[in-house]
């Protein structure tokens, strides 16, 4: 981190007599005392545990300085920066650091596909620039400034993922990061409980333009009618992506289990991504559009997409020692995303049978039952021969599927019966079978994936 102690004090308007300490270089910033290394700045955040109580542990690990907002007197031997709110101090410091380092900022949000799109975009831009991206899911009011303050000095293009579950959260993140390019992957139903409707979700996602440069680029899906009216009158360049009537328009050539091949309108070049599904082609179109905007040659864009590495737990193909193929997509879920995955999975070639394990989609509000039930339209016994449903919200789907599936093809387990689900799945699956697992992260289907791999 290219910052000194005095520089941080001035940027965050620290109120104590910090000039009693000689200025020195800080080596990094951490809010988890367990991650502190020599010369770091410690940010003690107040949450379930007050980070101030871990100051001794941080000191033992060699921290160089710390923000401080607790009533308790800080350690006298430690360079301290007294602030009103340690989180706000970190956010203010991130704003200062962006202004100092001046990378091009790319912001990505959406109901699904944010992380995959971030990974694809970083891989494309890295073909020509020094890049840094959000690590894991550090995409909120803590994770985003933390990401900014962790970018290497030489970073030219910074790719930031922005998450939200309430209105005004993307607005804050956009104003903080002041992006030059912004993209919305899709509008689904995630967090509809807090936002009231898909229209409410679309409005919340469009908050990404509040900090977007007037000379910047906004990318939206061409097929999403809720977004198009919200772009009227905006000063930025608006471009669409998709499969019909889009500025960046794709035609799928071949869809396989572990890769998808497609071409785009106006080009003879063939693109390949090492992930399945039409929805992932949509994510790739965002990366292509950003690459084109930044004048990266098409050949480099093609190479970046072909070799990109997906963040763990996002549409991950795994294989057991007995040959069972697992499509693990257990990090998040909403009806639109689940339906897209099932449509893709239903068409994948296999020597065995296709099996689906579907868990509750959380935070869908009062219409949760009907939304879960709507998934039935994307399940057909001729394509997916057995279905295992898990969680109280999946009961509605279970009742509907009874009309399509026999007792030997359809299973239901409540959340306390995860062990029974695992045992049933182990008995059901045979070598050469293919199984997809999809649910909200809170349902813990990653444990089921782990059990299948271990056995």
Cite the annotated binding site for ATP by residue number. 110-116
- Residues 6 or more apart whose CB falls under 8 angstroms from that of 455 comprise 320, 426
Burial class (CB within 10 angstroms; exposed 0-12, middle 13-18, buried 19+) of 281 = buried
The phi-psi region of residue 28 (left if phi > 0; otherwise alpha if psi is between -120 and 50; otherwise beta) is: left
- Residue 281 has, within 13 A of its CA and on its CB side, a CA count of 25
Helix (H) or strand (E) holding 58: helix 55-60
The binding site comprises 110-116
Report the alpha-carbon distance of residue 216 to residue 220 in Å, rounded. 13
Report the alpha-carbon distance of residue 427 to residue 382 in Å, rounded. 21
Helix (H) or strand (E) holding 173: helix 169-177
Asked if 66 and 81 count as a contact pair (C-beta separation under 8 A), the reply is yes
Tokens of 97: 């650091």
Report the alpha-carbon distance of residue 397 to residue 417 in Å, rounded. 18
Tokens of 451: 């059990």
Asked if 315 and 248 count as a contact pair (C-beta separation under 8 A), the reply is no
Q: At what angle do helices 445-454 and 418-428 cross, to 10 degrees?
A: 40
Quickly tell me which residue has 């219409």 as its tokens: 367
């Amino acid at each position: 981190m290219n910052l000194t102690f005095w520089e941080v004090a001035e940027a965050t308007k620290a109120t104590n007599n910090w000039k009693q300490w000689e200025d020195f270089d800080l080596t990094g910033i951490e809010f988890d005392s367990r991650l502190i290394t020599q010369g770091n700045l410690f940010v003690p955040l107040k949450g379930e545990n007050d980070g101030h109580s871990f100051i001794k542990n941080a000191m033992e690990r060699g921290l160089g300085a710390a923000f401080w907002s607790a009533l308790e007197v800080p350690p006298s031997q430690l360079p301290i920066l007294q602030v009103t709110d340690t989180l706000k101090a970190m956010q203010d410091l991130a704003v200062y650091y962006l202004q100092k380092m001046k990378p091009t900022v790319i912001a990505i949000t959406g109901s699904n596909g944010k992380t995959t799109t971030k990974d694809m975009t970083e891989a494309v831009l890295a073909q020509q620039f020094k890049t840094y991206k959000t690590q894991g899911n550090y995409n909120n009011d803590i994770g985003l400034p933390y990401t900014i303050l962790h970018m290497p000095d030489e970073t030219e293009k910074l790719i930031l993922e922005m998450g939200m579950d309430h209105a005004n959260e993307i607005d804050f993140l956009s104003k903080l990061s002041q992006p030059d390019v912004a993209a919305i992957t899709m509008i689904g139903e995630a967090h509809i409980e807090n936002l009231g409707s898909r229209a409410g979700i679309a409005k919340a996602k469009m908050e990404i333009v509040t900090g977007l440069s007037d000379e910047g680029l906004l990318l939206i899906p061409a097929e999403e009618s809720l977004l198009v009216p919200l772009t009227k009158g905006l000063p930025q360049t608006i471009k669409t992506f998709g499969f019909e009537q889009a500025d960046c328009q794709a035609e799928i050539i071949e869809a396989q289990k572990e890769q998808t091949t497609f071409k785009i309108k106006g080009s003879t070049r063939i693109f390949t991504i090492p992930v399945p599904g039409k929805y992932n082609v949509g994510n790739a179109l965002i990366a292509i559009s950003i690459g084109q905007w930044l004048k990266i040659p098409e050949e480099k864009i093609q190479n970046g997409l072909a070799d990109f590495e997906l963040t763990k737990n996002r549409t991950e193909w795994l294989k057991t020692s007995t040959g069972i193929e697992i499509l693990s997509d257990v990090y998040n879920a909403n009806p639109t995303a689940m339906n897209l995955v099932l449509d893709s999975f239903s068409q994948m070639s296999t020597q065995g049978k296709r099996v689906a394990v579907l868990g509750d989609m959380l935070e869908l509000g009062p219409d949760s039952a009907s939304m879960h039930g709507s998934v039935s339209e994307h399940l057909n016994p001729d394509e997916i021969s057995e279905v295992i449903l898990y969680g109280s919200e999946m009961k509605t789907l279970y009742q509907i599927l009874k009309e399509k599936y026999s007792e030997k093809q359809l299973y239901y387990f409540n959340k306390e019966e995860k062990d029974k689900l695992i045992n049933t799945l182990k008995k059901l699956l045979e070598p050469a079978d293919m199984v997809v697992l999809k649910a909200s992260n809170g349902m813990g289907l990653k444990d089921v994936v782990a059990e299948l791999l271990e056995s």
